[in-house]
Amino acid sequence: MFEPTETESVQTLEALAQAIERIAQRAKDDPDSLHRAPQSTPVSRVDEARAARQLIATADAVR
């Protein structure tokens, strides 16, 4: 569950609602595709446990 802030525009909320509707339809049509998500990012699922064990701290994160 999430709650958008009051400062979001009507257009942003409409776009969010449409995206959620597309995801819900995709879950009905092809639920396995959601288990493989994300599919359009430079990396697939982030291995959070590995990231915690092998932290790579950079100065860029501070800027």
- The domain ranges of the chain are 10-61
CA diameter of the chain: 44
What is the C-alpha to C-alpha distance for residues 33 and 12, in angstroms, rounded to an integer? 25
pLDDT digit string, tens, across residues 10-55: 999 999 999 999 999 999 999 998 888 777 777 767 788 888 898 8
Alpha-helical regions (H) of the chain: 10-29, 31-35, 48-53
Q: Does residue 33 contact residue 26 with C-beta atoms inside 8 Å?
A: yes
pLDDT at 61 (0 to 100): 53
pTM (predicted TM-score)? 0.55
